[in-house]
Amino acid sequence: MKPCTTPRSSRALGSRRSPESVLRLILWNSMRPSHSGKQPARSRLPWVVVLLTLTTACAQLPPVEPERQGVSERIDRLAEELAGLSTGLEAAREEQQALAGNVATLQASLAGVPAMLEAMEKSVAAEQTTPALVPASACEPAENADGLEGKQLVGRREDVWVEDLQLALPARIDTGAETASLDARNIREFERDGDEWVRFDIVHPETGEPLTLERPVARVVRILQSTSEEAERRAVIELGIVLGEVRQMAEFTLSDRSHLDFQMLVGRNILKDLMVVDVGQSNIAPYRAPEPPAQ
């Protein structure tokens, strides 16, 4: 008897069956009796069961696509980064707009500065063009510029010729000061022939060279400064000076005036009965230095 064969079409159809169908077919073939009428061989059953279990387990596993999942996660991260960048750009744009507003406000404020400066200059010029005659204490004020009664008219700033130095020093005219003051450095008192003397340096106003003078002490005064509770002891000397056309011997207190603009302060002791001060002018009384004695 010829063995049973499966048609070619059946084999082709079986190749397209699912794994479960194939396993069922194998199990059925293993369980059905053979052509000889004998019972199915039990030794084949365990292998069939194992094969059926593995195939079923493999069929139940879901498909995994790790590459596609990684790409999706990366896209999500990029989207979050783009959202953060967009927020930062928006904040920067708002800050730039605020800065532009501040710059516009500052420019508007600066635009008014020239007008303010011009107004201030006009105000100062108006004050300077209004001279005021301020007579020294105990001096008779002049009725007008033509009736000074022989008094020297001086401004608030003048150059004073110092005979002992044979040069002129810049001076500020101060009707509120009782005694004139002279800028002196390295002041040292000493005794000569039983009298008190003082040695000091005067800085040349042009070269800066120290010029040393020695003069007898006429008297000593004590000056109380607002910055100190103790009175400062100062020596007073006499110097021959020329201010305008007036020549006189005048007393000066010696003090360090290096922190001030003028080396000399002309007080009431020089102005009294001799000069009238016009605080609206400066350098209106040029000195006339005496001619040096013939040799």
Give 225's DSSP letter: -
CATH number at residue 274: 2.40.70.10
In which band, very low, low, confident or very high, does the pLDDT at 112 lie, cut at 50, 70 and 90? confident
Radius of gyration of the chain (CA): 58
Residues 103, 137: one domain? no
The per-residue pLDDT for range 140-158, each reduced to its tens digit, is 444 444 457 789 999 999 9
Residues 140 and 121 in one domain: no
Task: Quote the CA–CA distance of 156 and 265 in Å, as a whole number.
Answer: 11
The string of pLDDT tens digits covering residues 176-212 is: 999 999 999 999 999 999 999 999 999 999 999 999 9
pTM of the prediction?
A: 0.49
Which percentage of the chain shows pLDDT scores above 70?
A: 66
Residue 53: give the domain boundaries: 17-32+40-60
Residues 55, 113 within the same domain: no
Residues 28/34/39/41 CA torsion (nearest 10 deg): -70
Kindly state the average pLDDT of the residues 102-115: 80
For 233-286, give the DSSP string.
Answer: EEEEEEEEEEETTEEEEEEEEEE--TTSS-SEEE-HHHHTTTEEEETT--S-S-
CA quadruple 167, 172, 178, 183: dihedral, nearest 10: -50
pLDDT the model gives residue 18 = 61
**What total of structural domains would you count in the chain?**
3
Are 163 and 210 found together in one domain?
A: yes
pLDDT at 128: 47
Q: What is the pLDDT of residues 50-80, one digit of tens each?
A: 565 655 555 555 555 667 777 888 888 888 8
Q: Is residue 1 part of a domain?
A: no
Identify whether residues 114 and 210 lie together within a single domain.
Answer: no
269 and 154, same structural domain?
yes
Domain match, 150 and 217 both: yes
Beta bridge partners of 136: none
Q: Do 270 and 148 share a domain, yes or no? A: yes
Inside any domain, residue 102:
yes
* Per-residue pLDDT at 282 exceeds 90: yes
Q: Answer yes or no: is 238 within a domain.
A: yes
